[in-house]
Structures are given as C-alpha cells and as structure tokens.
Amino acid sequence: MSRIPRAELEAKVAAAFVAAGATKDAADSVARALVAAEIDGQKGHGLSRVPSYAAQARSGKVDGRARPRIERVRPGAIRIDAASGFAYPAIDLAVEELKRLAPAQGIALAAIAHSHHCGVLGHPVERLAEAGLVALAFGNSPEAIAPWGGNRAIFGTNPIAFACPRAGQAPLVIDLSLSKVARGKIMVAAEKGEAIPEGWAVDKDGRPTTDAKRALGGAMLPMGDAKGAQLVLMVEILAAALGASNFGFEASSFFDAQGAPPHVGQLLIAIDPAAPSGGRFAERLEALIAAIAAQPGARLPGQKRLAGRAQAKDGTVEVDAETLARIEALVGKA
C-alpha cells in the first residue's frame, strides 16, 4: 500500500476515462466520485470500478461523451436525462438545481432517467445537507433480488440514502443498500477469491452460498426478509417508474461491457427544513441525537465514513499497488 495525493489520484482516474473516450468534464466527475468512495471505505463503489467503467465507455455501453439534459417540468420538479452516460454528471447537475429550487419552493425533486451506476448515494444527499437541506435519494439497479416468495431476481439492490444538516458539525448521513450487503462488496470478494458470510446471497439454484462468484450468478437476499423485499419494491417504483427508466429486470449489468446501456433511474428529493419546522429543526434534531448519545455504546451512522476522511486529511489516499497499476495501464490504452 502507498499514499498518493488525492488530486494526483483523481487525475489518474480521470485520464483513464478520457483514454476510454469520455469528455474531460465527465471523466472528472466520475473520478471525484470514485476517489471519494475509496476514502470513505466504500471500496466496492471506489477504484475497483475503474476497469469495468472504462470497458463500458470503450464499448459504448456507457456514453462517456454524453451531457445530461434538464427539463423543468414543474416549479419544484425537474427531469434529467443522463443520455446513456455516467450517472455522476447527471447527479452533479441535480444537486446544484435542488440547492436552488428547494429553498424557494420548500421542497423539490429531481428524477434522473437513462442513467448508470450511482455509486455511494450518500454523497449527493450529503452535499445537499451541507447546503442546509434535508435530502433523500433512491436508486434502482440491475436484477439481483427476487420478490418475496419468488425464485427469480426482479429488483436490484436498490440503495436509499438520507442526510440532514447539523449545526457546526458534519451532516448526519444514512446510506444503505436494501440487500443484506451491497453487491459491490461481493464483487470485491470475488475479485480477491475471498469467501462471503452465509446469509448474504444464494446461488443460481436458490441455495445459500459463501462462494462470491456463485453469489454473483445467483441472487442477493434482502435485509429484513419480507419487509425488506417490500422496501426494495418501493425504491424500484420511486427510482425507475417515476423517471420512466428501466426496472431492474430490464437493465443490463453494471459490471461488464456487453449489452445495451442499463438505463436505470435515480430520484433525489430536497426539503428546506425551516419550512415545515418553523425554524426549529436543528433544535429538535439535536434533542434526538442527545438522547441517542446518552446510551452507552449507542452510535450514530457514518462513523466509518468520517474515520476514513480523517485519515485523508493530509490530502493523500491509500491505494494498493495492483489497483494503481490497473488504472495506469488504462491510461496507456488511449
């Protein structure tokens, strides 16, 4: 392992995507997102994605030259067409628009269509919280989870994220996949030849497995069993149906360069907390947090994320040599 200046690492990652045919703006947006995920300890959404993203840009499964297009459909609602491109430029656009719209309207939403893998969904809601907004985000993904009682994957692992501002402190961020574990973690385990815990997934025949590669060929298990399966359905509707995007069973894989673009969707909602709370949101939030903190052993979500950022305060990121070599090799393919 070695530590590399963050700016240098982002430049290397961006160069890999430019070499694969992406515009500099799109490449920079994706690089920032992947490096931020790596710093936060979300390696399944971090640098491990660079080779597959680049391969998809080369094959045309992702249009690295796409520019997201915005349609203002209502005073507090926008639709963004990611145009078969990477999700991150469209998400960047959504965040900036919601920062402007939510304070004026009290609440605003952005539906993103024809999109791709959205990575750490906690990041865009955190940026909205840093602007003083309460935010929710939903995303759907290629088929990985069967409906409860069914035997074929229909839904994706469908992340959901929430963030809210805190006075004088980092925002409170909640970010979770609705499978028992994020699919990206199984992908990383498969690449390393490592076993996964029992209870994360089943193989293609519906049998529990600890083999990561068999799990990728089978189905993920939802958190909360039957209740979790209904939450997955809810997110599928919010992320895909509202934006007229592909459902999980219609979307192609995020992990390979074959097939048509996945064309999944994301939905972001931003709320000005002053509007419904009469200006008392911060006061009430801190009362809740104090009640949690008063219990020995209780903790707020996001501690791992903040710990990872503390390690990167010197402006460097820890990267293993093999991962860095893969990224640098992609730059040479231009």
pLDDT digits (tens, 9 = 90+) for 253-274: 999 999 999 999 999 999 999 9
Mean pLDDT across 218-236: 91
- Answer CATH for 68-179+222-299 from 3.40.50.2300, 3.90.550.10, 3.30.1370.60, 3.40.50.300: 3.30.1370.60
Least reliable range by pLDDT among 15-24, 208-217, 282-291: 208-217
Give the model's pLDDT for residue 201.
Answer: 86
What are the strands, taking DSSP E only, across the chain?
2-5, 69-74, 77-81, 107-115, 134-139, 160-166, 169-176, 201-202, 219-220, 264-271, 316-319
In the numeric block, the tokens 């530590």 are attached to 3
pLDDT at 101 over 80: yes
Position 206 confidence tier, pLDDT thresholds 50, 70, 90: confident
Mean pLDDT across 238-245: 97
Give the model's pLDDT for residue 203.
Answer: 86
In the numeric block, the tokens 């409906």 are attached to 147
Mean pLDDT across 123-135: 98
Least reliable range by pLDDT among 46-60, 140-154, 317-331: 140-154
Domain ranges of the chain: 1-65+302-334, 68-179+222-299
Position 81 confidence tier, pLDDT thresholds 50, 70, 90: very high
pLDDT at 111 over 90: yes
Q: Pick from 177, 287, 289: which is nearest to 232 by CA?
A: 177
Distances in Å between the Cα of 177 and the Cα atoms of 63, 139, 235, 330 are 26, 10, 11, 30
pLDDT at 334 over 60: no
Q: What is the CATH number of domain 1-65+302-334?
A: 1.10.1530.10
Does the predicted TM-score (pTM) go above 0.95?
no
Mean pLDDT across 237-244: 97
Give the model's pLDDT for residue 258.
Answer: 96
The string of pLDDT tens digits covering residues 25-72 is 999 999 999 999 999 999 989 999 999 999 999 999 999 999 999 999
Percent of the chain with pLDDT over 90: 80
Mean pLDDT across 294-298: 94
User: Which structure tokens are listed for 3?
Assistant: 């530590």
pLDDT at 92 over 60: yes
Least reliable range by pLDDT among 2-16, 132-146, 299-313: 299-313
Cβ contact 195:188 at 8 Å? no
Give the model's pLDDT for residue 328.
Answer: 94
Q: Which helix (H) or strand (E) holds 233?
A: helix 225-236
Mean pLDDT across 144-158: 85
Position 85 confidence tier, pLDDT thresholds 50, 70, 90: very high
Identity at 184, one-letter amino acid code: G
